[in-house]
C-alpha cells in the first residue's frame, strides 16, 4: 500500500530532512513512526499526503506515484488519504455531525449518503451521543475521535495520524487508540501513526519505524519496547 | 454547489463589511470615471470622424504658373502624394463667382464687381480630399513643398487643435482609469485575503479531505464578484440619470450644435453593460488572484 524507495528530501533552505528511506507497508498494516524532533517524521507525512515531493526516489501510495502528481491531481489523490492532527482541526462553528459531514459535502457527496455515512462513523467511534454538540463542549479524546471520523468519511485506503494522542491524557489516548484499531480492523485501512508516546508504542505493540536524523534506524516488525531516547 | 458558493460568498462579504464597503466605493469611483470616459471618448471619436470627413485642402496656384501645362504638372505631382483621394480644379473666375455668391449685401457686391473682369485677384485653385482626415496636415505640407504653389490652406485648423487637445485629455483619463482599475483589484485582493485568513483552517481542512481547488476557490470568487456587482450599481444609475437629464436638457445638441449627443437608447445600454462587465471582471480578477495565491502556497 505504501512504498518508499531510496527517498531523499532536501528543502530549498538546504536542510536535508530524509536520507535513503526504503520501506514497504502492506494494506491493513498499522505502523508507528517514532523519533525525536527533527528526525524527519513530519517530512515523511508530507511526502505521503502529497504536500511535498521527494528530491530523489519513489513514493508510492495505493499504487500512485505521489511525486509525479500534478497540482490539479492532488485533491483527487487526497481522497485516498485520511489525515488526523494533534490539534484535531475541527470547525468550532459546526456540530460534531456537521464536522464529519463537511468532509463529504466538499467533495459533492449526496445528502442521503452523507447522513448514512455520518451515522455509521459516529457509531464505530462510539460518539453518537455527542453528534449535536459543538467541539468546544466535548473532551479532547472525543474531539480527536470526531477528527478520525472526519478523516475516515471518504473511506480512505490510508490514514495518517500525526501525534493523535499528543494533547491527551492516558485514558483519552487509549480511547483514541481503540478507535484507530477498530477502524483498522473494520475497514482494513492502512494506518501510519506518528507519535512521541513511548508508552503507547510499548503497550499496543505494532510494527514500529524509528527515524533519526532523516534515516530509518530501526524497523521493528513486531513492535516492542523502544529503547531509543525520543 | 453554486448556491453554496454564493451563500458562502455573501457570508464572507458581510463578515468584513468595512473592507467590502471600501472596496465597493473604490470600484464605484473607478466605474464612474470609466463611464464618463467612455461617453466622452465615443462622442469625441464620432465628432472627429465627422469633422475630418468634411475637411478639404485648398491649393492656390501662383499667378506665374496659371497656364495649362504648369497646372497639369502640378495636378500630377499632387496626385502622386500618398493619401490624396480626389482633386477638383477651379479657375480663378469660378473662384470669384463662388466668392461673390457668398456676399449677400448688394452694396458690398458692387465694390467687388470690377474684380470680376481683368482685375480678378483670385487664383486658379485645386481642392483636394484625402483618404482620411488625419492625412490632411501631412498632404498639405507635401503640397507646400511643390513649385508653383501660392498658398495651401485647410479649414478648421483650430478645431483640429481642439480635437487634438481633447484626444490628449482622453489619453490622460484612460491612464487614470487603468490606474484606478489596478487599485480596485488590489483593494479587492486585500478584502478577500481577510476572508481567507479568517477561514484558513477551514480551507486547510478542505484541502486535506480532497476538495478541489475550484470548490475551495468558488465562494471567494463570488465574494469578489458581489463586490464588483454592487460597485457597478451606483455608476450605472448615475450614468443613466445624468445622461438622460443632460440629453433632455440640451435637446441632444451641445456647444451651439457643434456636438450632437447620441440617443440614450441603445447607447446607454451598451455603456452600462460595459460598466457592469468591468465591475464584475475587477471583482473576479481581484478575488481569483488572491485565493489562487493561497492555494498555490501549498501543494
Name chain A contacts of B204, Cβ cutoff 8 Å.
89
**Of B117, B139, B154, the domain-final residue:** B154
pLDDT in tens, A133-160: 999 999 888 999 999 999 999 888 999 9
What are the helix and strand counts (H, E) for chain A? 7, 10
Of B1, B213, B296, the CB nearest to A108: B1
**Interface subset of A 141-170, CB within 8 angstroms of B:** 150-151, 153-154
Is the model's pLDDT at B58 over the cut of 60? yes
Predicted local confidence at residue A193, as pLDDT: 94
Give the integer Cα–Cα distance in Å for A212 and A216: 6
Distance from A104 to chain B by nearest Cα, in Å?
8
CATH number assigned to the domain comprising residue B124: 3.30.70.3040
B37 plus B66 within the same structural domain = no
Give me the DSSP letters along A35-85.
--TTSSHHHHHHHHTTSS--SEEEEEETTEEGGG--GGGHHHHHTTEEEE-
Rounded mean pLDDT, B244-262: 82
Domain residue limits at B25: 2-51+160-297
Is the model's pLDDT at B187 over the cut of 70? yes
B40 plus B168 within the same structural domain = yes
B251 plus B191 within the same structural domain = yes
Residues with Cβ within 8 Å of residue B81, at least 6 apart in sequence = B139, B142, B143
Task: Say if CB A193 and CB A119 are below 8 A apart.
Answer: no
Predicted local confidence at residue B97, as pLDDT: 84
B226 plus B82 within the same structural domain = no
What SS3 state is found at B149? strand
- B/e letters for B217-229, b = 16+ CB within 10 Å, e = fewer, are bbbbbbbbbbbbb
Name chain B contacts of A154, Cβ cutoff 8 Å.
209-210
Strands A81-84 and B125-130, bridge-based pairing: unpaired
What SS3 state is found at B218? helix
B150 plus B172 within the same structural domain = no
A71 touches chain B (CB under 8 A): yes
Task: Say if CB A90 and CB A99 are below 8 A apart.
Answer: yes
Give the integer Cα–Cα distance in Å for A115 and A135: 19
B123 plus B18 within the same structural domain = no
pLDDT in tens, A86-113: 888 888 888 999 999 988 888 888 889 9
Sort residue B136 into left (φ over 0), alpha (ψ -120 to 50) or beta. Answer: alpha
SS3 content of chain B, % helix, strand, coil (to 5): 75, 10, 15
Predicted local confidence at residue A158, as pLDDT: 92
Q: Is residue A138 part of a domain?
A: no
pLDDT, averaged per 10 consecutive residues of chain A (230 residues), comes to 90 87 92 89 90 90 88 85 87 88 86 92 91 91 91 90 87 89 91 89 89 89 66
Give the integer Cα–Cα distance in Å for A67 and B67: 90
B189 plus B252 within the same structural domain = yes
A42 touches chain B (CB under 8 A): no
* Residue B160 grid coordinates: 483640429
What's the pTM value of the predicted model, to 2 decimals? 0.65
Q: What angle do CA B170, B174, B176 make, to 5 degrees?
A: 115
CATH number assigned to the domain comprising residue A67: 3.40.50.300
Predicted local confidence at residue B157, as pLDDT: 66
Q: What is residue A24's DSSP assignment?
A: E
Strands B149-154 and B57-61, bridge-based pairing: antiparallel
Domain total in chain A: 1
B124 plus B219 within the same structural domain = no
**Of B154, B184, B200, the domain-final residue:** B154
Sign of the CA dihedral with A178 first, then A183, A184, and A189 last: negative
B7 touches chain A (CB under 8 A): no
Q: ipTM score of the complex?
A: 0.76
Predicted local confidence at residue B156, as pLDDT: 63
Is the model's pLDDT at B229 over the cut of 90? yes
Is the model's pLDDT at B288 over the cut of 60? yes
B87 plus B214 within the same structural domain = no
Q: Is residue A14 part of a domain?
A: yes
**Closest-CA residue to A173 (of A205, A141, A150):** A141
* Residue B273 grid coordinates: 453593460
Q: Is residue A161 part of a domain?
A: yes
B126 plus B14 within the same structural domain = no
Domain residue limits at A6: 2-89+157-220
**Of B154, B182, B202, the domain-final residue:** B154
B132 plus B261 within the same structural domain = no
Share of chain B above pLDDT 90, in %: 18
Of A51, A52, A154, the CB nearest to B210: A154
Predicted local confidence at residue B158, as pLDDT: 66
Confidence at B117, pLDDT banded by 50, 70, 90: low
- B/e letters for B139-174, b = 16+ CB within 10 Å, e = fewer, are bbebbeebebbeebebeeeeebeebeebeeeeeebe
Residues with Cβ within 8 Å of residue B271, at least 6 apart in sequence = B35, B38, B39, B239, B243
Of B201, B211, B213, the CB nearest to A107: B211
Q: How far is CA B36 from CA B163, B239, B240, in A?
A: 17, 8, 11
B108 plus B204 within the same structural domain = no
Q: How far is CA A160 from CA A35, B120, B208, B248, in A?
A: 16, 106, 11, 72
pLDDT in tens, B66-88: 888 888 888 999 989 998 888 99
Q: Is residue A208 part of a domain?
A: yes
Predicted local confidence at residue A32, as pLDDT: 92
Amino acid at each position: 500500500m505504501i512504498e518508499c524507495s531510496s527517498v531523499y528530501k532536501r528543502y530549498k533552505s538546504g536542510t536535508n530532512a530524509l536520507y535513503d528511506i526504503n520501506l514497504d507497508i502492506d494494506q491493513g498494516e498499522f505502523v508507528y513512526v517514532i523519533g525525536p524532533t527533527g528526525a524527519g517524521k513530519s517530512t515523511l507525512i508530507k511526502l505521503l499526503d502529497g504536500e511535498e515531493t521527494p528530491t530523489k526516489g519513489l513514493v508510492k501510495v495505493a499504487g500512485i506515484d505521489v511525486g509525479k502528481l500534478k497540482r490539479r491531481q492532488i485533491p483527487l489523490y487526497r481522497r485516498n488519504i485520511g489525515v488526523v492532527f494533534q490539534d484535531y482541526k475541527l470547525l468550532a462553528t459546526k456540530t460534531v455531525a456537521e464536522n464529519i459531514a463537511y468532509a463529504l459535502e466538499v467533495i459533492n457527496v449526496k445528502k442521503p449518503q452523507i447522513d448514512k455515512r455520518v451515522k455509521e462513523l459516529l457509531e464505530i467511534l462510539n460518539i453518537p451521543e455527542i453528534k449535536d454538540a459543538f467541539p468546544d463542549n466535548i473532551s479532547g479524546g472525543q474531539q480527536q475521535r470526531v477528527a478520525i471520523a472526519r478523516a475516515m468519511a471518504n473511506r480512505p485506503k490510508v490514514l495518517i495520524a500525526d501525534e493523535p494522542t499528543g494533547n491527551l491524557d492516558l485514558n483519552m489516548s487509549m480511547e483514541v487508540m481503540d478507535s484507530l484499531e477498530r477502524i483498522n480492523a473494520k475497514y482494513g485501512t492502512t494506518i501510519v501513526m506518528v507519535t512521541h508516546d513511548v508508552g503507547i508504542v510499548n503497550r499496543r505493540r505494532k510494527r514500529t519505524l524509528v527515524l533519526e536524523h532523516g534515516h530509518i534506524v530501526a524497523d521493528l516488525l513486531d513492535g516492542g519496547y523502544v529503547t531509543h531516547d525520543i | 454547489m453554486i448556491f453554496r458558493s454564493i451563500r458562502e460568498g455573501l457570508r464572507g462579504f458581510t463578515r468584513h463589511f468595512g473592507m467590502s464597503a471600501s472596496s465597493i466605493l473604490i470600484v464605484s469611483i473607478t466605474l464612474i470615471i470609466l463611464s464618463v470616459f467612455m461617453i466622452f471618448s465615443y462622442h469625441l471619436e464620432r465628432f472627429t470622424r465627422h469633422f475630418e470627413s468634411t475637411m478639404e485642402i485648398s491649393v492656390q496656384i501662383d499667378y506665374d504658373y496659371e497656364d495649362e501645362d504648369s497646372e497639369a504638372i502640378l495636378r500630377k505631382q499632387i496626385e502622386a502624394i500618398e493619401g490624396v483621394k480626389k482633386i477638383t480644379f477651379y479657375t480663378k473666375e469660378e473662384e470669384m463667382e463662388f466668392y461673390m455668391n457668398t456676399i449677400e449685401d448688394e452694396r458690398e457686391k458692387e465694390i467687388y464687381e470690377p474684380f470680376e473682369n481683368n482685375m480678378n485677384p483670385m487664383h486658379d485653385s485645386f481642392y483636394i480630399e484625402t483618404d482620411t482626415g488625419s492625412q490632411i496636415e501631412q498632404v498639405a505640407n507635401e503640397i507646400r513643398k511643390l513649385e508653383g504653389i501660392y498658398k495651401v490652406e485647410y479649414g478648421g485648423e483650430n478645431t483640429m487643435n481642439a480635437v487634438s487637445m481633447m484626444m490628449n485629455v482622453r489619453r490622460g483619463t484612460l491612464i487614470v482609469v487603468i490606474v484606478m482599475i489596478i487599485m480596485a483589484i488590489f483593494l479587492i485582493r486585500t478584502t478577500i485575503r481577510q476572508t481567507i485568513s479568517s477561514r484558513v483552517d477551514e480551507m486547510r481542512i478542505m484541502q486535506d479531505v480532497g476538495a478541489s481547488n475550484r470548490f475551495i476557490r468558488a465562494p471567494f470568487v463570488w465574494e469578489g464578484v458581489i463586490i464588483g456587482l454592487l460597485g457597478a450599481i451606483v455608476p450605472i444609475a448615475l450614468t443613466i440619470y445624468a445622461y438622460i437629464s443632460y440629453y433632455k436638457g440640451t435637446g441632444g445638441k451641445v456647444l451651439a450644435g457643434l456636438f450632437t449627443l447620441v440617443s440614450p437608447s441603445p447607447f446607454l445600454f451598451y455603456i452600462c453593460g460595459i460598466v457592469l462587465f468591468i465591475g464584475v471582471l475587477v471583482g473576479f480578477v481581484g478575488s481569483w488572484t488572491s485565493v489562487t495565491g493561497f492555494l498555490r502556497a501549498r501543494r
